[in-house]
Amino acid sequence: MNQLKKDHKGKADTSLILEIVSLYLTKEENAQNTTQWVVATKFSSSGIPIGAFQVHFEKATGDINLSTLVADINSNTKKSILYTSKWPAEVEKSKILFIPK
């Protein structure tokens, strides 16, 4: 079963939720095998989305590792970041970054 992995390191303020609409992708019963948009939200930001990207789950041969993903949002400075030094091949090159109001 293919799923996205993000190391939460036990810290609520840096934990990310990666989901397709309302499916939590770290639960095995929600494994995907098609191209889907994935939305990253910060756990402690009341569900405010940080960014989105398309993932080709059908091309994955195992778990898609996003352990180096940096995603954060700051409503005060109106800044967002969605970055990793090397995106997995299953993730589309273009991303959507949400800028907070």
For residue 14, is pLDDT > 50?
no
Q: Compute the C-alpha angle 16/18/22, nearest 5°.
A: 125
What is the tally of structural domains in the chain? 1
For residue 1, is pLDDT > 50?
no
Strand pairing category for 49-56 and 91-97: antiparallel
Domain that holds residue 59: 4-97
Percent of the chain with pLDDT over 70: 65
Q: Is the dihedral of CA 19, 24, 28, 31 positive or negative?
A: negative
Exposure b/e, 53-73, CB count within 10 A at least 16 = b: bbbbbeebeeebebeebebbb
Of 3-7, 37-41, 87-91, the range with the lowest mean pLDDT is: 3-7
Task: Name the CA radius of gyration of the chain, rounded.
Answer: 13
